[in-house]
Amino acid sequence: MTAVETIGELFAGPGARDHMGEPVPIGEHMLQAGGLAEAAGAQAALVAAALLHDIGHLLGEDDDEERHGEAGANWLSQWFGDAVTEPVRLHVPAKRYLCAADPGYFGLLSAESVRTLSLQGGPMAAAEVAGFEALPFFRDAAAVRRWDDRAKDPAVTAPRFAHFAPLLGALVRS
């Protein structure tokens, strides 16, 4: 089975389950995030990162809200480079970062995201903000995080996984 087929099976299986109190299933949430990135004109790797940001939740190995980004990035690294995996890895700290760096950001969070923020360590302290901003993919992670926050609309019909399959296939390392 190819990398894209393996990922597609996760969207079709575990991706259909509810997403911790959010109004759309987790796979739909991820498809909406990928669609938002694509609509924003993001580069292919960043569209893939937005699409795959919560893949750690679908793996069944680590459904921990704080560590799912790390688990997902580690799993994806067998096929994708840092431009895809690092924004996935950093999308949880990006929420903490944005809560500290953008005064209006916290008000945009869903009730579930506010709840999980406390589990994830709350807004970053000033030293953490500086450290996060020194990371090569911090801007991409912040962009993924913003799409993540908007990708919870039951009225939106996102592109299906098959729409993203060619983009993912082109990004798989040979």
Interior/surface letters 25-53, b for 16+ CB within 10 angstroms, e for the rest: bbbbbbbbbbbbbbeeebebbbbbbbbbb
pLDDT in tens, 45-86: 999 999 999 999 999 754 567 788 999 999 999 999 999 999
Structural domain including 141 reads 3-171
Listed residue (44, 47, 65, 56) closest to 15, CA to CA: 56
Work out the mean pLDDT of the chain and round it to a whole number: 93
pLDDT in the model for residue 19:
60
pLDDT, tens digit, 9 for 90 and up, residues 26-47: 999 999 999 999 999 999 999 9
**129-159 pLDDT tens trace:** 999 999 999 999 999 999 999 999 999 999 9
Nearest CA among 143, 161, 145, 150 for reference residue 23 = 150
**DSSP structure class, residue 137:** T
Select from 96, 24, 8, 93 the least CA-distant residue to 58.
8
Q: Hey, how many other C-beta atoms are within 10 angstroms of the C-beta on 17?
A: 12
Residue 164, domain CATH = 1.10.3210.10
For residue 20, pLDDT over 80 is answered with no
What is the Cα–Cα distance from 68 to 37, expressed in whole angstroms? 20
Structure tokens at 66: 């704080």
Number of domains in the chain: 1
The DSSP code sequence of 60-126 is: SS---TTTHHHHHHHHHTTT--HHHHHHHHHHHHHHHHHHHH-TTTGGGS-HHHHHHHHHTTSSPPH
pLDDT for position 18: 67
Average pLDDT for 88-115: 94
